Chains A and B, each alone.
Chain A
């Protein structure tokens, strides 16, 4: 199936869940967050779609005024088609349903995205940082991230682009 057919299949099952956006790339579909867990179950278990492989979960910060986004890359071994699903989050309270229970690999993917962007995956069994230390402050890959100055008494010097060492 191509992207338009996959999109139509999702729209048939979940009317109103697909967002129409103009600046989408090839094989991208933007969805609303509220029915995400049901849609994820559907695209895995529907025999015509059968996305059995979750390839990647990525977080994206679209800028300090804009929203955060999670992107999921799915691939179907059976049908050899793929899709990228985009879900946008409110910057102040970024949260979306966890799909860890559907694709087991989602566990670490979601923990990494949580670690870097602070997006909360509701229903995740063990949502904590995976790369940074547990007591790290802030979400490092957000555009407005300010590194902390001290970590357990160790000074972290900061460099501004033009000013030199602080």
Chain B
């Protein structure tokens, strides 16, 4: 993909190719399997048999090199923030981030006195979808993942970006 990306002018062939690639990308976003706090339990529940994330093409990968989506599930401490950033940088493009739960989004219950808590993971990595809740139920997370899939589908990977 790398050499073809953002190279072509908009036309019929590129448009339909873009659509195909968008469909392919959006229906198999493998997520990076790591949890930071109690939200990870809900993430595991989403992946397990009752909610079954593999229905929507999502499968956990234990290596950032093989993952497309990073689900930041839980409280990000300052110590972990540097590591989250490093893991994000190790992921291959295209990559997406979901901020799961109020801790990852804004610091949550630690927003006032938690001297050690990062006040929102968007301070270190760009976030695509925020899922509210403390922790969000698996249904909420799946809603967020479907929103992300919609977002991936609207992307035009081959088309040259207008300057």
Interface residues on A, range: 10 to 19
Pairwise interchain contact A140-B118, C-beta atoms closer than 8 A: no
Q: Within the assembled complex, what's the spacing in Å between the Cα atoms of A154 and B121? A: 11
Pairwise interchain contact A152-B82, C-beta atoms closer than 8 A: yes
Interface residues on B, range: 10 to 19
A24 at the binding interface (Cβ < 8 Å) = no
Pairwise interchain contact A140-B123, C-beta atoms closer than 8 A: no
- Known pairs A132-B116, A154-B123; list 9 more (Cβ under 8 Å): A140-B115, A152-B82, A154-B78, A154-B81, A154-B118, A156-B78, A156-B115, A156-B119, A159-B112
B24 at the binding interface (Cβ < 8 Å) = no
Q: Within the assembled complex, what's the spacing in Å between the Cα atoms of A147 and B119? A: 14
Q: Which residues of B contact A151 (CB under 8 A)?
A: 78, 81
- B63-84 contact mask (Cβ, 8 Å, vs A): 1 or 0: 0000000000000001101100
Q: Which residues of A contact B78 (CB under 8 A)?
A: 133, 136, 151, 154, 156
- B120-142 contact mask (Cβ, 8 Å, vs A): 1 or 0: 00011000000000000000000
Pairwise interchain contact B79-A133, C-beta atoms closer than 8 A: yes
Q: Which residues of A contact B112 (CB under 8 A)?
A: 159
B111 at the binding interface (Cβ < 8 Å) = yes
Q: Within the assembled complex, what's the spacing in Å between the Cα atoms of A152 and B112? A: 20
From 126 to 166 in chain A, residues with beta carbon under 8 angstroms from any chain B beta carbon are 132-133, 136, 140, 145, 147, 151-152, 154-157, 159
